[in-house]
């Protein structure tokens, strides 16, 4: 892969300087979205059972899944930054992302702090050897990628290993992780379906012109409903009076995460971050909301529900 992540021409959206997508590109993107629906279904049918198995299994298999997500996500992120003319330390950032995931999984917070400190000092030292034309931008985007993709994704590992800290059986950790995925993706799906069908009022047109207020409201309702379903289905540890605040918070965080990734793509002038997942795009396209909701659910469960420091 080169300096930027190349998307097929049918899925690439070029943006005018004023932020409004060109009409021809919008039409092409819409047609591409229609053609991608069968691939979206096939990808979901293949991916969801694998995700279910790995989450239930936990341990090293689930760690490898999260590590793969971090690796691909960081590759996409640094590709987006390279597309803007920046020069992140791609391989150093990838190594740091994997290291963060390992230290979280292995329960080595002191080692993680030591490594991140050394990583920061290393990146700053390497920058001394580069031309000064970009200032601190290469350092900033390298570090931001590790935090945005690596650290936020690592909260899925925190969730899977949380039962030991709250006195529950290890298999309950799978329910903690599913409590992230089900409401988050329910929010995404409802927001897309309602927004594309009934959406009239733009939510944040300068960031994502197609997202609507109607879709956003539908996403919030779906997140709350999915959280209630999760409580009935696999999360009996969640009291009924926690469903509304947690579900609402997941709905808000999921949409902010989606908009944040839309901003990254828009400034890089691409529609999808990559094409790893047929019909969906890249890891950032599929997990952007999860990056925001996984930390939320982890800290809510640990601090609010179980009262553990």
Q: Is residue 280 part of a domain?
A: yes
Q: What band does 36 get if pLDDT is binned at 50, 70 and 90? A: low
Domain, as residue range, for 264? 36-305
Check pLDDT > 50 for residue 31: no
DSSP state, 40?
H
Give the position of tokens 């341990």: 59
Contact 138, 126 (CB under 8 A): no
Check pLDDT > 60 for residue 33: no
Q: What band does 37 get if pLDDT is binned at 50, 70 and 90? A: low
Q: Is residue 189 part of a domain?
A: yes
| Nearest partner of 33 among 258, 260, 217, 196, judged by Cα | 196
Q: Is residue 18 part of a domain?
A: no
Check pLDDT > 70 for residue 14: no
Q: Is residue 10 part of a domain?
A: no
Q: Give the number of other Cβ atoms within 10 Å of residue 197's Cβ.
A: 11
Q: Is residue 279 part of a domain?
A: yes
Phi, psi of 21 (to 5 degrees): -65, 145
For the chain, give the mean pLDDT.
85
Contact 207, 266 (CB under 8 A): yes
Domain count of the chain? 1
| Nearest partner of 297 among 177, 196, 186, judged by Cα | 177
Looking at residue 4, what is its pLDDT? 39
Q: Is residue 65 part of a domain?
A: yes
Q: Is residue 7 part of a domain?
A: no
Looking at residue 114, what is its pLDDT? 87
Token pair belonging to 129: 């050897």
Token pair belonging to 18: 């004023």
Check pLDDT > 90 for residue 271: no
CA distance 31 to 36: 9
Q: Is residue 57 part of a domain?
A: yes
């Amino acid at each position: 892969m080169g300096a930027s992540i190349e998307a097929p021409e049918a899925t690439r959206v070029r943006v005018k300087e004023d932020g409004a997508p060109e009409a021809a590109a919008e039409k092409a993107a819409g047609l591409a979205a229609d053609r991608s629906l069968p691939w979206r279904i096939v990808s979901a049918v293949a991916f969801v059972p694998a995700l279910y198995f790995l989450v239930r299994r936990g341990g090293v298999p689930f760690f490898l899944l999260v590590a793969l997500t971090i690796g691909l996500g960081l590759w996409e992120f640094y590709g987006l930054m390279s597309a803007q003319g920046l020069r992140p330390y791609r391989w150093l950032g990838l190594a740091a992302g994997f290291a963060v995931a390992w230290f979280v999984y292995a329960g080595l917070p002191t080692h993680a702090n030591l490594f991140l400190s050394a990583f920061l000092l290393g990146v700053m030292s390497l920058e001394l050897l580069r031309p000064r034309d970009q200032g601190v931008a290469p350092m900033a985007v390298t570090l931001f990628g590790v935090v945005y993709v690596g650290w936020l994704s690592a909260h899925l590992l925190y969730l899977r290993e949380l039962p030991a800290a709250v006195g529950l059986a290890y298999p309950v950790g799978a329910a903690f992780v599913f409590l992230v995925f089900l409401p988050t993706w329910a929010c995404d799906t409802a927001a897309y379906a309602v927004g594309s069908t009934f959406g009239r009022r733009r939510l944040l047109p300068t960031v994502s012109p197609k997202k609507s207020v109607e879709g956003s409201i539908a996403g919030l309702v779906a997140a709350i409903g999915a959280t209630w379903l999760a409580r009935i289905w696999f999360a009996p540890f969640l009291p009924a009076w926690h469903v509304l605040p947690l579900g609402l918070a997941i709905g808000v965080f999921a949409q902010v995460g989606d908009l944040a990734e839309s901003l990254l793509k828009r400034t890089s002038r691409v529609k999808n971050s990559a094409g790893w997942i047929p019909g969906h795009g890249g890891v950032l396209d599929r997990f952007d909301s999860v990056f925001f909701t996984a930390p939320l659910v982890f800290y809510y469960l640990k601090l609010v529900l179980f009262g553990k420091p």
